[in-house]
Amino acid sequence: MAEKENKSTIYQMNKYQYNLSIIIPAYNAARFIERTITEASQIVPTPEIIVVDDGSQDGTYHVCKGLQNKLSTLYVYTQKNAGVSAARNLGIKYAHGKWLFFCDSDDWVDVDGITRVLKIANEQKENTLMLAAMNFVKPDGVYLHIVPEKHNIKPHEYLASNNFQGSSCNHLFPNKLIKGNHIQFPIGVVNTEDSNFNIKAICCCDNICSVNIPIYNYNHLNEEACHKTNFSMNWRIGPLLSSLDIIRFIEIKGIDISIVFQQIDRLVEYYYRSHIYGKHTTDELRDISQLLRSIGQKCPNITISPKYKIMTHLPVVGICLLRIYNRIKFGK
């Protein structure tokens, strides 16, 4: 059960009292969280800032609680450690802004950029999802990650293109779209959570408005912000579990599954390229083979690949061959 800190009157407020809700999941982020919150509070009009402390052990909760004395639109919730997806989902539940924006606890919003993009967003038709650029902040400088400048992209067109963005942090999601379609981040999926959420949201929207203005600063300066290789079984099968979660969502919503064929293929290829390392038991390989078959039954486009055929028939051999293939093609 989440613990809510003060501001109980929020439940009695109109759900669109705020133009923007910024949702910040936080785990052991005491060193960074103040900057993240302070930058977010500079946006005009002031957004609703929701921090979900995911069972931190380093005082993150107390840092946020102290900032509440200065920021009247800061709301702090706590939960037992359940992962970033659960924390974000709790933030969605309590969000009352017209637009939802996700920010990691060691990154920060681009105040000028998001102000400009919000103005454009509020001029769009209902059920439009916003896509924007982001900055990669590295020790040797700031690099702009661009997106197309196009204000009328249809969901099927976007999902079948190479312009798809895997991060949820350079999007603005309509609150009504997300809650009305019961879209959540997948619980139990260790990675590809953002892609999963984005794909489901795109499938339910009418239009994507893409503007090449940065709204997010992705922090590459801290070791904590760097991705480390993870060979746990849950990490390995993350893209496969994510694929099945998307398929289940599509079936429940009655959406033509072919709209996600290319994205499912991308997730499976991501597994083949990056998630086949470390030791595997015979049982684990059998489970992976079965996951691939389950995906292939719904998305037959992935069954054409020789990688699929070898992994579903001779997974022990398949793992070895994929590692050799990746070493030759990608040098890894």
Residue 198 and residue 239 share a domain: no
The 10s digit of each residue's pLDDT in 93-114 is 999 999 999 999 999 999 999 9
Neighbours of 153 (CB within 10 A): 21
Distances from the Cα of 181 to the Cα of 202, 249, 257, 309, angstroms: 11, 10, 17, 35
Residue 208 and residue 182 share a domain: yes
Handedness of CA 3, 8, 11, 14 (dihedral sign): negative
Pairing of strands 48-54, 207-219: unpaired
Is there a contact between 22 and 103 (Cβ–Cβ < 8 Å)?
yes
Amino acid at 118: L
Residue 193 and residue 247 share a domain: no
pLDDT at 225: 40
Give the domain-ending residue among 192, 225, 258: 225
Residue 116 and residue 220 share a domain: yes
Handedness of CA 226, 186, 3, 179 (dihedral sign): positive
pTM for this model (two decimals): 0.93
pLDDT at 229: 52
Range of the domain at 315: 233-330
Burial class (CB in 10 A: 0-12, 13-18, 19+), 145: middle
Average pLDDT, the chain: 92
Look at residue 2 and tell me whether its pLDDT is greater than 60: no
The 10s digit of each residue's pLDDT in 127-163 is 999 999 999 999 999 999 999 999 899 999 999 998 9
Amino acid at 266: R
- Under DSSP, the state recorded for 52 is E
Residue 148 and residue 41 share a domain: yes
Residue 315 and residue 261 share a domain: yes
Give the domain-ending residue among 225, 246, 269: 225
How many independent structural domains does the chain possess?
2
Query: Cα(252)–Cα(138) distance, rounded to whole angstroms?
Result: 42
Residue 297 and residue 201 share a domain: no
pLDDT at 95: 97
Confidence band, pLDDT 50/70/90 cuts, at residue 55? very high
Q: Choose between 162 and 313: higher pLDDT.
A: 313
